[in-house]
């Protein structure tokens, strides 16, 4: 059973819908793996954002997925899905 519930911000949903099918499948597969998030020890390339509290970055191909973890409500909020060149703006 997944540990965390995944919630998508409107902008993240829109960005996901704008991807081609192959990229969308890969990104979505990695995002779904976040439901079992146990910190930084996983097969995924996840890095905690410096000075940002509970914000993390997931690298999946040339895309970056920014997300926040709310441990109290056991929810992961997908905030942003961007190409690596524009992800940190």
Per-residue pLDDT of 62-80, as tens digits, reads 899 999 999 899 999 999 9
**Torsions phi, psi for 69 (to 5 deg):** -115, 125
pLDDT of 2 above 70:
no
At residue 7, the pLDDT reads 95
* Domain definitions of the chain by residue range: 5-83
Q: State the fold for domain 5-83.
A: YaeB-like fold (3.30.2310)
Considering the entire predicted model, what is its pTM? Answer: 0.85
Helix (H) or strand (E) holding 57: strand 55-60
Helix (H) or strand (E) holding 31: helix 21-33
Strands 5-8 and 55-60, by their bridges, are: unpaired
Other Cβ atoms within 10 Å of 17 Cβ, number? 9
36 band by pLDDT with thresholds 50, 70 and 90: confident
């Amino acid at each position: 059973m997944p540990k965390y519930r995944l919630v998508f911000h409107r902008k993240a949903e829109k960005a996901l819908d704008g991807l081609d099918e192959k990229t969308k499948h890969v990104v979505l597969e990695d995002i779904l793996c976040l439901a079992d998030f146990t910190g930084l020890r996983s097969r995924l390339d996840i890095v905690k954002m410096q000075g940002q509290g509970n914000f993390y970055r997931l690298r999946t191909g040339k895309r970056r997925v920014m997300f926040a973890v709310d441990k109290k409500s056991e929810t992961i909020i997908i905030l942003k899905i961007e190409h690596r060149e524009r992800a940190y703006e």
